[in-house]
Structures are given as C-alpha cells and as structure tokens.
A and B are shown apart, each in its own frame.
Chain A
Amino acid sequence: MGKKTIAYIDAIREALREEMLRDPKVIVIGEDVGLGQGAFTVTKGLYQEFGKDRVIDTPISEESIIGACVGAAMAGLRPVAEIMFNPFMALVMDPLINHASCYKYVSGGQVKVPMVIRTLVCQGRGAGHDHAPFYASWFMHVPYIRVIVPSTPYDAKGLLKTAIRDDYPCIFYEHIDFYPRKPNLGEIPEEEYTIPLGKADIKKEGSDVTIVAILTGVKTSLSAAKKLEEDGINVEVVDPRTLAPLDKQTILDSVKKTGRLVIVETDFKTAGVGAEIAAIVAEEAMEYLDAPIKRVATADIPISFTNEKYILPNEEAIIKAVKDIC
C-alpha cells in the first residue's frame, strides 16, 4: 500500500470530499462552510465542487442548523454539520439529545438519524469562556451518541469517514492546535481506509504506567513520556480515539499490564471524561492497580481570556502525576 503525508486539516477535508463523491446523500451544512470556505478553511473548495445544494451556508443559529440536520437525516440524507466552537453545542441540545439520539431505538429501527456534527475545541488561544471549553462528557452521558476525538491525521480521516456512514448522531471533535499544517503532518494510506468506532490505539507501548489521553493530551503525553524515559519510567500511551463507544478492553489490558493509570484530558475534571474511565478501571481492574488513579484535567474554573496557561493540563502536570504514583 502506498503512503502519503497529509496535514490534519487536509485529512478532514479529504474525508468529507471522498464521502461526498461516494454518496450523493452526504451534505455539508453550517455557518460559512460554503462561500466562506469554513472559518478555518476546513471545507475549502467543497462549495465549488459540489454546489450550493450540498454545501449549505446557514444563518448564525446553531439550533436551527442541527434541527435541520435531524429532519434531513430522518428524510434520508447524511448531513455533516459544523458547529464552529464546541461550547455552542449548548444551543443544540434539544434536537440532538431529545430527538436525534433516540429515534432509531424508539421507532424500532424504522427511522434513523445519521448525522455528524464537527465542532472545534479552541483551547490555548485566549478565546474565552464561550469558545475554549471542551465538553465531551455531556455527550458520553447520552446513550447512542457517538463521541469521536481524533488526535492524528490518520485517525481524523478514518474516523470521519466511518462517522458519516454510521446511522447514529456522531459528535466529531477537532482541536485548534491540530489545524496549523506544519506541526500536524502524518502518514495515511494512498488508498481508501476507515477506522472502526470503539477501537483504541496504543500510541506508545510501555510497561510502568498507562496514560489514557485524548485530543491534544495525546501529544503532550507523548512528549512527557519521552522526558519520563530519562527518569527510567516507561510510559504506555493509550488513545481511545472514540469516547462513545469506548474501547474498555484496551484500557483495561494496558492497566493490567502496568498497574498504574493516569488520565490526561483537557475537559473540566469534575464528572469529565476521566471520571468515567477511572470508574471503569476501578470497577473492572481494581486488583491490578498498584497505585491510585490520577486525572490530569482542566481545573474546575471558567476559562477566561487569560487564565488558560494556569488551568489547562500541560507536560509538567503530566510528569508530576506520573511521578506521584511511580
């Protein structure tokens, strides 16, 4: 198989384009996704290629974007919406939670709501309380919503294609740190490929401690692992890639091997992603733990325009957490 190098942002566009070419029912909808090319140029060129019927610009009204997606999906389309910043997801809760997530089940399979919501986690840019927070556990809590958190170009393309073909609502998180091309290049196959939902990826093998990390936490954990190596601590980094469904087995197997667990997440700590993972490990692998489970997460404080460097997890915090239990 041939390989090529691609940037994260281009991998996403490639996934969208390939799926639109493959299936005429796939549409892209959102604020400035058409003529505006997307606020961060993710959808650049799609309007020109597929036209205004399949790449739809909307007013600034998140609830109506998602409401339209739910109706379109029920009628047979496969919409891919863009909610420009993750906290705006608060505006789409009713159509998503109370309708889209439930219909296939409660209709006995007669109605399905296949839709993807791409949304951006804009941390570390001083974007403030209503742009920067990363809310993932909100949706992990709701049955039948897919929560996807790709951290590499390979994962982003493979998972987005799978999400578009999936028959349930999928929330697809992108992180602003992944958008600049140069630091976010990765190899992908030339040929078409997809990645199944619910399959974690071990980003680095190790023997002393397991770090389960998501999104930017993966990169930070890998660099922390390199430094910890100098102290003789051999870290395993597990990237779940999707939080719902969650690949419990890979996480449990890793913890059973290392006996220690640190969870690195950039959402708020309380009732966050790590709380669920820690609970699963405590429930199912207690007797393999040689130390308390540690969570490295964003402090439980509203994110302001200036406080991110103090409250977001960083390499130093990860190293400290690992050393605390090793």
Chain B
Amino acid sequence: MHEVTMPKLSLTMETGKIVRWLKKEGDKVEKGEPILEIETEKVTVEVEAPASGILHKILAKEGEDVPIQKTIAIIREPGEEIPEEVAAPPVEAKKPEVVAVTEKPLERIKASPLAKRLAKEYGVDLTKIKGTGPGGRIVKEDVLRAVEEAKAAAVTVTPTPTPVTVEKAKVVPLTSMRKTIGRRMAQSLQTAPQLTITMEVDMSEAVKFREQITSVTEKKLNLRVTYTDIIVKAVAKALKEFPFINSRLEGDQLKLLEEVNVGVATAVEDGLVVPVVKNADKKSLIEVASEIRSLVEKARQGKLSIEDVSGGTFTVTNLGMYGVDVFTPIINPPESAILGVGRIVEKPVVINGQITIRPLTVLSLTFDHRVTDGAQAAVFLQRVKDLLEKPALLFIE
C-alpha cells in the first residue's frame, strides 16, 4: 500500500487545494504518472503517482483545501487487500500525538446555519467574525454587520458618487490567485517607498531590428520575436551592468544578486502570473523569445510549475497592447524594481531641427527608494533606452 500525500511545494506552503482528480478510484496508475492537479497560492501543478498500482481510494474531494503531508489517496498493489478502516478518510487517528503537537486542532466555529449560509453567499470568512449570539454563536446579524463593515471600508478607499448597497451587489468570492496578488501588492506598497520615473524611447531601430529577425525566425523556427522579448533581453543586459537594481533588500543589507532572472508579467483568465526567464543575460535573444513563448503558453493553461515562477530578480510588465502609454507598476517583492512598457506609437519628433515621424514608446521604471535614488535609476533606464535605440549593442558581451 502506498499513500499519496499533499506535497509541500514551497517553503511557505501550508495547504493545497485539490483542483481535479485525473484518475478515478479503481484506475490503474503508473509511477510518475500525473494523478491529480492541485492549486497552491502560486500555481496549479500536477501530482504524480508515487508508485505503480491501482488507485484504491481517494480521500480528499475536488475543491477541498488539504494540509501538506496529509494523505489524500491510497494506491494498492494489484491483488493487495486493504482493510476498510485504513482507507477511511480521517487518517489522523492513527498518529495522535504527532498531530496534537504539530497541528493545532481546528476549532469548531459556532455559527447558526443561517449565518453559515449567508457567510457563504457574501463571501465572509466566519473565522474573522465575533459571534454575539448565545454562547458566542455567530448569528445572521453578525454576518450582515461584517458585510456592512467591509462595504464601509471599501467605500473609504474608493469613494463613489452614489452609495453602493451591498444587497444589490453580485458577490464574487476571491480566488486564491486574487488573494495572493492583493496581499503581495499591498505588502509591496506598504513596505517599499517606491516611485516611478518615465523615459521616452525611439523604437525606430528596434522596429527594423525586429522585422529583420522575425523574417528569419518565423520561417526557420516558427517563432515571432516580440518587443517584449527584445526589451527583456535589453533589460537583462542592463541589469548585469547595474547590480544595485538587480538586488534584494534584506533588513539592513542589500544583496546584489548574481543571477539575472527576469519575470514577465502575464495576464491569465483570472488574474496575473509572473513566469521567470532564468539567467536571461546569458541567453540569446532567440532563446529568451522561445522561453517566453513556452512560459506564456503554460501560464494560459495554468500549468506553470513552482520552479517557473520562482527566483525572479526583476520584472517586466507590458501594457502596450492595451494602448497604455505610462503607468506606475508596483514592485513585485522581494525585487527592487519593475519596468513598465507602454505602446509603440508613431509621433512627430524634432531631430536636428526637422520634424520627423518616429515610432516611440515610454518606459516606466518603478524602483525602491531604499535601494537607490532617482539619479542612479535614471542612468539605468537611460542604458535600457540606449540598448533599444541601438539594438546592435545587444550583441556586445
């Protein structure tokens, strides 16, 4: 008999959500074959069978949040008999002391059935509410009060001309991805004094450069090189030259990181993920481009591994395709800076006293003021601009 347990995929992971079982009870499974998908705060990953055999019993339902290391399924060898009590869901009973020490037993929340139903409807977390009913029971009024308070809090942040009544709102519970994005962005803004500087870049050469490369790569490699690819490559090169931007602040120490791992913010159906191109400075433009293509594809399918989204040292976020020119991206902690890319648009510019038309874009660099100052950040941004305006420089090591 082999137990399948909820894997611990990262240092901070405490629970994983069962997204989907890929196998049914009674199915034959091969060692290493994916048998279910789980979702952590960061990604959705497939869990492989730890051994070959028959999937005897599934102990955790789809949608359930399961603590790490907890048994979620049992695989038996063909012909092996498994006593019913072993396959019964609460496996904890078998290891009483260990559980008592390591896990705090979940306290039952005292709430009326009506309060529970309303909490579900309004997406209210009952563990965060104080009950005022007999014996501290959470009752309807407590849930409605929490909804009102949440509404009031929301209204102070974004005042709206007409009062919004919660009763008329459609309530959408946040996905774990949304909660993670919210938490990390709030953490970033609360801890890092950050500001954004912008710089206009003439993309004439980059446009030509891209056309030349793409005409070849499209035929030979079936690969279109995008402006994002070129910008990631340029940024990686600049980061190598400006290590204080490629850094992480830990307490009173600034760690200048050796690796240049550039994250590419990627919009997915229900949010945003940041897959990372590792060692982007050491890779060729074509390598960077094809890696980004495959990461984006994985992101859209929700198949990014923890590895794919870890270890970033800088992030590039491109809103150009949505017609955005300038914005103030928020640093993706624990990184020290992030580069926002605007749309490329033809504009009249004055060069040598002549008005000419040039494709321009605006780069928006947000940096952590604890790490560096405006002048140094501007020099870094100037370097990125330089590389984009003279793309041939990308080939000088």
Contacts and interface: CB of A to CB of B under 8 A. Distances in A.
Interface of A: 259, 286-291, 324-325
Nearest to B120: A287
Contacts of A286: 113
A310 to B, nearest CB: 26
A286 B111 CA distance: 12
B124 interface: no
Chain B contact patch, size range: 10 to 19
Interface string B99-127: 00000000000001111110000000000
B329 to A, nearest CB: 44
A259 B116 CA distance: 12
Contact of A288 (B113, B133, B134, B139): B113
A290 B116 contact: no
Contacts of B134: 291, 324-325
A259 B115 CA distance: 10
Contacts of B115: 290
A289 B137 CA distance: 13
Nearest to A285: B113
10 contacts: A286-B113, A287-B117, A288-B117, A289-B112, A290-B112, A290-B115, A291-B112, A291-B137, A291-B139, A325-B134
Given A259-B114, A288-B114, 16 more contacts: A287-B113, A287-B114, A287-B117, A288-B113, A288-B117, A289-B113, A290-B112, A290-B113, A290-B115, A290-B133, A290-B139, A290-B140, A291-B112, A291-B139, A324-B134, A325-B134
Contacts, number: 28
Contacts of B112: 259, 289-291
Interface of B: 112-117, 133-134, 137, 139-140
Contacts of A259: 112, 114, 140
Contacts of A291: 112, 133-134, 137, 139
A259 B113 CA distance: 9
A280 B393 CA distance: 80
Q: Which 5 A-B pairs have the closest CB atoms?
A: A290-B114, A287-B117, A290-B112, A290-B140, A287-B113
Contacts of A290: 112-115, 133, 139-140
Contacts of A289: 112-114
A147 to B, nearest CB: 29
B116 A287 contact: yes
A5 B113 CA distance: 45
B142 to A, nearest CB: 10
B147 to A, nearest CB: 15
Nearest to A255: B114
Contacts of B137: 291
B119 to A, nearest CB: 11
Nearest to A291: B112
Nearest to A259: B114
Nearest to B139: A290
Nearest to A287: B117
Contacts of B133: 290-291
A290 B143 CA distance: 11
Nearest to A282: B113
B183 to A, nearest CB: 31
A291 B134 CA distance: 9
A287 B133 CA distance: 16
B112 to A, nearest CB: 4
B132 to A, nearest CB: 12
B129 to A, nearest CB: 14
A320 to B, nearest CB: 13
Nearest to B137: A291
Contacts of A287: 113-114, 116-117
A287 B116 CA distance: 8
Contacts of B116: 287
Contacts of A324: 134
A289 to B, nearest CB: 5
Contacts of A288: 113-114, 117
